[in-house]
């Protein structure tokens, strides 16, 4: 059950968003997207999308993303509690010999904090993080 801070039950990773912008998205993504209403995005995903759009401008994708965020998304901030959880998790994983990116751990900690399922293609990057995962690409 999501925390009171979020009315969504899934946190969508950047690779799902970019797949939705393709001319011919993966069928599994389309099927999954047709079953959900409001989703959550981390501000990390917003940054990653706008980084990509600055690097390779695409007005169609930009318009789609801005409309999507405005109508189907709740953007969740990185709070000090989320940042602390991400740092702890990254340190624990490093002590186990696993390297995790700061961005992935901030997304993971956001999902943990709000009790959300992370929807991603990259389940391997999040496998040891103790969060619910969904890979609709299968």
Let me know if residue 84 belongs to a domain.
yes
pLDDT at 4 over 50: no
pLDDT in tens, 96-127: 999 999 999 999 999 999 999 999 999 999 98
Q: How many domains does the chain have?
A: 1
Question: CA-to-CA distance for 37 and 10, rounded, in angstroms?
Answer: 10
Question: CA-to-CA distance for 116 and 8, rounded, in angstroms?
Answer: 8
State residue 7's pLDDT score: 67
In this prediction, residue 128 has a pLDDT band, given cuts at 50, 70 and 90, of confident
Burial of 67: CB neighbours in 10 Å, binned 0-12, 13-18, 19+: exposed
CB 7 within 8 A of CB 38: yes
Range of the domain at 47: 10-134
pLDDT in tens, 43-102: 999 999 999 999 999 999 999 999 999 999 999 999 999 999 999 999 999 999 999 999
Query: In this structure, what CATH number is given to the domain that contains residue 23?
Result: 3.40.50.1010
Let me know if residue 87 belongs to a domain.
yes
Let me know if residue 30 belongs to a domain.
yes
């Amino acid at each position: 059950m999501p925390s009171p801070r979020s009315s969504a039950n899934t946190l969508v990773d950047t690779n799902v968003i970019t797949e939705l912008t393709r001319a011919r998205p993966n069928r599994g993504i389309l099927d999954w997207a047709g079953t959900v209403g409001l989703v959550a995005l981390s501000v990390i995903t917003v940054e990653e999308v706008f980084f990509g759009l600055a690097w390779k401008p695409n007005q169609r994708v930009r318009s789609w993303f801005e409309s999507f965020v405005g109508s189907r998304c709740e953007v969740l901030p990185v709070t000090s509690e989320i940042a602390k959880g991400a740092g702890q998790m990254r340190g624990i994983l490093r002590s186990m010999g696993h390297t995790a990116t700061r961005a992935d751990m901030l997304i993971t900690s956001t999902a943990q904090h709000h009790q959300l399922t992370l929807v991603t293609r990259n389940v391997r990057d999040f496998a040891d993080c103790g969060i619910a995962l969904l890979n609709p690409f299968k």
